[in-house]
Structure 1
Amino acid sequence: MAGQSFSLSPAVPSSPRVGYHQVILGEYDRDSNDEAVQIKRIAKVFVHPSFSKKNFSNDVALVRLSSPAQITSRVSPVQLVSSSTNIPSGTLCVTTGWGRTATGQGPRILQETTLPIVSTAECMSYWGLTRSITDSMICAGGSGSSTCQGDSGGPLVCDRYQVGIVSWGTNDCRDNAPGVYSRVSFFRQWIDDTVSSNSA
């Protein structure tokens, strides 16, 4: 969450839609009915104006919730990295999600894994000419763990600051391949301006 009324999301075609999706806050076990979750309708989705469906550059959107989230022990806004912050390669960061696991299934319990930041040069070397790595992207992983289908939109957090949003990776979720995330620092000004001009 970016504040109590906004959530960060990818801008890919499967991004949240008004009247179709809901935002569920505070969930850990998808099969449990005993968790104190908050279910919010989506008031509006702001897709980055420079989002490219061709290479997933600028893959970020802001979702405005129909009502502010209530801050609890399970729900709180994340601190966003500043626009001037550079995360050194090798820094260990954490990502979470309910994406496919090694069994090929989506898990019941929220999964967490630790990934090292991969330099842009190393990431470009891996992806070669098959995909473009732009300034709006940051790479992590490639060392035995990876995000997978179903993790899109999840956070990449380094030392309590969100630095990335799960964007794309290999089709078969290879754990030796660096995953690609939308770089929050690159979008920080757009995020701040959008939240400021669309807050009630």
Structure 2
Amino acid sequence: MTFTIFSITCFALVASALGCGVPAIKPQTIGSKIVNGQNAISGSWPWQVSLQLPSGFHFCGGSLINQNWVLTAAHCTVAVGYHRVILGEHNRGSSVEPIQVKLVSKVITHPLYSSTTINNDIALLKLSSPVTLTPRISPVCLAPSTINILPGTRCFTTGWGRTATTSNPLILQQTGVPIISPAVCRQIWGQSTITDAMICAGASGSSSCQGDSGGPLVCERSGVWSLVGSVSWGRNTCDTRFPAVYARISQLRSWIDRTIASN
């Protein structure tokens, strides 16, 4: 037990020193919903980004992982020099929020991504210029490849995706969702459908939905938030009785690190 507490404390200190995963504005973590979600506190998920068309239409989410890179879903098919990365946004209907807008200079999709099976559903976006970090804009920590998240652990996903089958909110939404074991998830979705590069969460009355794709699934430990998943797929009807499926960051971590280091 002493070793476990020591390890958690060390992780928190290292994460804090690296400047990731510790929001300056603390999130409200009591409650539920994205489908059946709740409004987030403004600025409390500072790594959340909105991917938008030049018109301002939001089509996917993403996570800031350092000053130069955003992680999103490969199936979002972001285009260099065209799509916008919006950081620090809370209310998409506001014109006075201190947001930063970046273009994308490079899109690197996981080489084993399959649009058929939706396996390895992540892409890295290199920004046109470094982000200026503020209390409302800061990176999330990446889950280490060795992380073990127990089934039932309550984590959070955020986004501007549909809150019903037809409506997209202007205010950033959040929901707490339990991690589902791979065995249970395979029973629901099929043995061959759920791969080691996927992690499941939800089936608890709340879920991510269309428009949330690419956005974060984060878990907190000792005050530090780590990105454990990126919204990938689920039921077309956003049925909250079924778990949503996320790209598993721990499984893909080595590729992420190598790609950033070489680009």
| TM-score exceeds 0.5 | yes
Q: Which gives a bigger RCO, structure 1 or 2 (Cα 8 Å, sep 6+)?
A: 2
Contact 1:46-1:61 within 8 A present in 2 as well:
yes
Correspondence 1:1-16 to 2 at 5 A: 1-12=64-75, 14-16=76-78
Give me the whole-angstrom Cα distance separating, in 1, the residues matched to 2:113 and 2:145.
18
1:145 aligns with 2:206: yes
Paired residues in the alignment total: 196
Aligned to 1:180: 245
The AA in structure 1 aligned to 2:213 is S
Q: Using the alignment, how far apart are the partners of 2:118 and 2:161 within structure 1?
A: 19
The match for 1:17 is 79
Q: Is the 8 A contact 2:103 2:128 kept in 1?
A: yes
CA contact (8 A) 1:146 1:179 kept: yes
Measure the CA separation in 1 of the matches of 2:228 and 2:108.
19
List gaps (5 residues or longer) in structure 2: 1-63
Q: Percent same amino acid at aligned positions?
A: 54
1:94 lines up with 2:159 in the alignment: no
What code does the residue aligned with 1:48 have? H
Kindly indicate whether the alpha-carbon contact (under 8 Å) linking 2:165 and 2:238 is maintained by their aligned counterparts in 1.
Answer: no
Instruction: Give the alignment partner of residue 109 of structure 2, picking from 24, 35, 47.
Output: 47
Which of 185, 188, 205 is matched with 1:126 structurally?
188
Matches within 5 A, 1:105-116: 105-116=167-178
Query: Which ranges in structure 1 are unaligned for 5 or more consecutive residues?
Result: none
**RMSD of aligned Cα (Å):** 1.0
Q: What displacement does 1:103 show?
A: 6.3
Match of 2:145 in 1: 83
In 1: Cα distance, 2:139 partner to 2:259 partner:
16
Distance in 1 separating the partners of 2:236 and 2:203: 14
Q: Which amino acid aligns with 2:155?
A: C
Report if the CA contact (8 A) 1:9-1:15 is conserved.
no
Cα displacement (A) at 1:15:
2.3
The superposition leaves residues 49-87 of structure 1 with CA deviations (integer Å, 9 ceiling, x where unpaired) of 000111100000100000010100110010011011121
- The structure where helix makes up a greater share of residues is 2
User: In the alignment, what sits opposite 2:90?
Assistant: 28
- Shift in Å, 1:24: 0.4
